[in-house]
Amino acid sequence: MGHDWTAAYRLGSQDNRPIVTELRLFPRERSKRRSPGTWSAERHGSLAAAPLGGITASLLRRVSLSDYAQFAGRVPAALTGDLVEKEVPRPRRPSQRGRKPRSERAVAEIAQCYAETVSAGSSRPVAEVALKKRIPEATVRNVIHQARQQGLLSKTLQGRVGGQLTAKAKKLLRRRRGD
Protein backbone atom coordinates (compact mmCIF):
# COMPACT_ATOMS: atom_id res chain seq x y z
CA MET A 1 0.00 0.00 0.00
CA GLY A 2 2.91 2.31 0.63
CA HIS A 3 1.17 4.60 3.15
CA ASP A 4 1.68 4.49 6.89
CA TRP A 5 -1.38 4.23 9.04
CA THR A 6 -1.97 4.51 12.76
CA ALA A 7 -4.60 2.75 14.81
CA ALA A 8 -5.70 4.51 17.98
CA TYR A 9 -7.33 2.38 20.65
CA ARG A 10 -9.48 3.71 23.48
CA LEU A 11 -9.37 1.19 26.30
CA GLY A 12 -11.88 0.62 29.03
CA SER A 13 -12.43 -1.95 31.71
CA GLN A 14 -15.02 -4.69 31.89
CA ASP A 15 -14.99 -7.26 34.67
CA ASN A 16 -11.56 -5.91 35.68
CA ARG A 17 -10.13 -6.72 32.24
CA PRO A 18 -9.04 -4.17 29.63
CA ILE A 19 -11.21 -4.00 26.51
CA VAL A 20 -11.22 -1.89 23.35
CA THR A 21 -14.07 0.60 23.49
CA GLU A 22 -13.07 2.62 20.41
CA LEU A 23 -10.79 2.14 17.43
CA ARG A 24 -9.73 4.90 15.02
CA LEU A 25 -7.65 4.57 11.84
CA PHE A 26 -5.93 7.57 10.35
CA PRO A 27 -2.92 8.39 8.17
CA ARG A 28 0.34 8.67 10.07
CA GLU A 29 1.36 12.28 10.34
CA ARG A 30 4.68 13.43 11.67
CA SER A 31 3.24 16.43 13.53
CA LYS A 32 4.18 16.58 17.20
CA ARG A 33 1.43 19.13 17.91
CA ARG A 34 -1.50 16.76 17.64
CA SER A 35 -3.14 14.80 20.44
CA PRO A 36 -3.16 10.98 20.31
CA GLY A 37 -5.99 9.72 18.11
CA THR A 38 -6.33 12.89 16.04
CA TRP A 39 -5.17 13.93 12.59
CA SER A 40 -5.24 17.05 10.43
CA ALA A 41 -8.78 16.38 9.16
CA GLU A 42 -10.07 17.51 12.53
CA ARG A 43 -8.59 20.96 11.80
CA HIS A 44 -8.83 21.10 8.00
CA GLY A 45 -11.91 18.99 7.33
CA SER A 46 -12.21 17.59 3.80
CA LEU A 47 -9.15 19.60 2.72
CA ALA A 48 -6.83 17.34 4.75
CA ALA A 49 -4.64 15.04 2.70
CA ALA A 50 -5.62 11.38 2.78
CA PRO A 51 -3.79 8.47 1.15
CA LEU A 52 -5.01 7.42 -2.28
CA GLY A 53 -7.80 4.90 -1.95
CA GLY A 54 -8.45 5.70 1.70
CA ILE A 55 -9.21 2.91 4.15
CA THR A 56 -9.47 -0.38 2.31
CA ALA A 57 -10.55 -3.87 3.34
CA SER A 58 -6.94 -5.01 3.15
CA LEU A 59 -5.92 -2.26 5.59
CA LEU A 60 -8.69 -3.28 7.99
CA ARG A 61 -7.50 -6.89 7.90
CA ARG A 62 -4.05 -5.73 9.08
CA VAL A 63 -5.47 -4.10 12.21
CA SER A 64 -5.24 -6.46 15.17
CA LEU A 65 -7.63 -5.83 18.03
CA SER A 66 -5.49 -8.05 20.25
CA ASP A 67 -2.65 -5.54 19.93
CA TYR A 68 -4.28 -3.47 22.66
CA ALA A 69 -3.18 -6.09 25.19
CA GLN A 70 0.36 -4.72 25.11
CA PHE A 71 -1.02 -1.43 26.39
CA ALA A 72 -2.76 -3.07 29.34
CA GLY A 73 0.51 -2.69 31.26
CA ARG A 74 0.11 1.09 30.92
CA VAL A 75 -2.91 1.02 33.15
CA PRO A 76 -4.19 3.19 34.77
CA ALA A 77 -3.53 5.77 32.00
CA ALA A 78 -4.96 3.49 29.33
CA LEU A 79 -8.11 2.81 31.30
CA THR A 80 -8.88 6.47 31.88
CA GLY A 81 -10.30 6.65 28.37
CA ASP A 82 -7.23 8.20 26.72
CA LEU A 83 -6.47 7.03 23.20
CA VAL A 84 -3.34 4.91 22.84
CA GLU A 85 -1.76 4.70 19.36
CA LYS A 86 -0.25 1.70 17.63
CA GLU A 87 1.34 1.59 14.18
CA VAL A 88 -0.60 -0.57 11.69
CA PRO A 89 1.83 -3.10 10.21
CA ARG A 90 2.68 -3.01 6.51
CA PRO A 91 1.23 -5.82 4.40
CA ARG A 92 3.18 -9.03 4.43
CA ARG A 93 4.85 -10.10 1.25
CA PRO A 94 2.90 -12.84 -0.45
CA SER A 95 4.13 -16.24 0.54
CA GLN A 96 6.51 -17.98 -1.78
CA ARG A 97 4.19 -20.96 -2.15
CA GLY A 98 3.60 -22.69 -5.42
CA ARG A 99 5.68 -22.85 -8.53
CA LYS A 100 7.89 -20.04 -9.68
CA PRO A 101 6.32 -18.17 -12.59
CA ARG A 102 7.55 -19.13 -16.05
CA SER A 103 10.24 -16.90 -17.43
CA GLU A 104 9.36 -14.72 -20.39
CA ARG A 105 11.71 -16.85 -22.49
CA ALA A 106 9.96 -20.11 -21.46
CA VAL A 107 6.62 -18.53 -22.42
CA ALA A 108 8.12 -17.47 -25.76
CA GLU A 109 9.38 -21.03 -26.43
CA ILE A 110 5.91 -22.51 -25.91
CA ALA A 111 4.41 -19.71 -28.02
CA GLN A 112 6.91 -20.53 -30.78
CA CYS A 113 5.95 -24.21 -30.72
CA TYR A 114 2.27 -23.19 -30.85
CA ALA A 115 2.81 -20.77 -33.77
CA GLU A 116 4.73 -23.42 -35.73
CA THR A 117 1.98 -25.98 -35.08
CA VAL A 118 -0.69 -23.50 -36.24
CA SER A 119 1.25 -22.60 -39.41
CA ALA A 120 1.61 -26.34 -40.17
CA GLY A 121 -2.18 -26.42 -40.43
CA SER A 122 -3.07 -28.20 -37.18
CA SER A 123 -6.71 -27.96 -36.18
CA ARG A 124 -5.79 -28.82 -32.55
CA PRO A 125 -2.53 -26.97 -31.87
CA VAL A 126 -3.00 -26.83 -28.09
CA ALA A 127 -3.29 -30.62 -27.87
CA GLU A 128 -0.26 -31.11 -30.13
CA VAL A 129 1.89 -28.66 -28.16
CA ALA A 130 0.84 -30.39 -24.94
CA LEU A 131 2.04 -33.71 -26.36
CA LYS A 132 5.30 -32.26 -27.69
CA LYS A 133 6.13 -30.38 -24.49
CA ARG A 134 4.68 -33.05 -22.17
CA ILE A 135 2.55 -30.58 -20.26
CA PRO A 136 -1.24 -30.51 -19.69
CA GLU A 137 -3.45 -28.86 -22.32
CA ALA A 138 -4.78 -26.44 -19.69
CA THR A 139 -1.22 -25.28 -19.01
CA VAL A 140 -0.60 -24.75 -22.73
CA ARG A 141 -3.80 -22.68 -22.98
CA ASN A 142 -2.76 -20.59 -19.98
CA VAL A 143 0.74 -20.02 -21.37
CA ILE A 144 -0.64 -19.06 -24.81
CA HIS A 145 -2.92 -16.54 -23.09
CA GLN A 146 0.06 -15.25 -21.10
CA ALA A 147 2.12 -14.98 -24.30
CA ARG A 148 -0.60 -12.85 -25.90
CA GLN A 149 -0.81 -10.65 -22.77
CA GLN A 150 2.98 -10.19 -22.74
CA GLY A 151 3.04 -9.28 -26.43
CA LEU A 152 4.91 -12.42 -27.49
CA LEU A 153 2.13 -13.83 -29.66
CA SER A 154 -0.28 -11.88 -31.86
CA LYS A 155 -3.87 -11.65 -30.71
CA THR A 156 -6.76 -13.51 -32.34
CA LEU A 157 -10.47 -13.72 -31.70
CA GLN A 158 -11.11 -15.44 -28.40
CA GLY A 159 -11.31 -19.21 -28.79
CA ARG A 160 -9.90 -19.17 -32.32
CA VAL A 161 -6.76 -20.99 -33.42
CA GLY A 162 -4.01 -18.70 -34.64
CA GLY A 163 -1.34 -16.22 -33.86
CA GLN A 164 2.20 -15.45 -34.91
CA LEU A 165 5.30 -14.73 -32.91
CA THR A 166 5.91 -11.03 -32.44
CA ALA A 167 9.22 -9.27 -32.94
CA LYS A 168 9.60 -9.17 -29.15
CA ALA A 169 9.33 -12.98 -28.93
CA LYS A 170 11.74 -13.49 -31.82
CA LYS A 171 14.28 -11.22 -30.16
CA LEU A 172 13.94 -13.13 -26.89
CA LEU A 173 14.39 -16.46 -28.64
CA ARG A 174 17.51 -15.27 -30.53
CA ARG A 175 19.29 -14.61 -27.24
CA ARG A 176 21.20 -17.54 -25.80
CA ARG A 177 19.73 -19.20 -22.75
CA GLY A 178 20.94 -17.59 -19.51
CA ASP A 179 21.85 -14.22 -21.09
Which amino acid does the sequence have at 153? L
Quote the pTM value. Answer: 0.47
Question: What is the rounded distance in angstroms from the CA atom of residue 56 to the CA atom of residue 88?
Answer: 13
Determine the pLDDT at residue 176: 64
Answer yes or no: is pLDDT of 82 > 90. Answer: no
pLDDT in tens, 131-167: 999 999 999 999 999 999 999 999 888 888 888 999 9
> Mean pLDDT across the stretch 22-46?
70
pLDDT in tens, 107-125: 999 999 999 999 999 989 9
Cα-trace Rg, the chain: 28
SS3 171: helix
Dihedral, CA of residue 174, residue 104, residue 138 and residue 156, to nearest 10: -70
Question: Which domains are seen in the chain, by residue range?
Answer: 5-87 (no CATH), 104-174 (1.10.10.10)
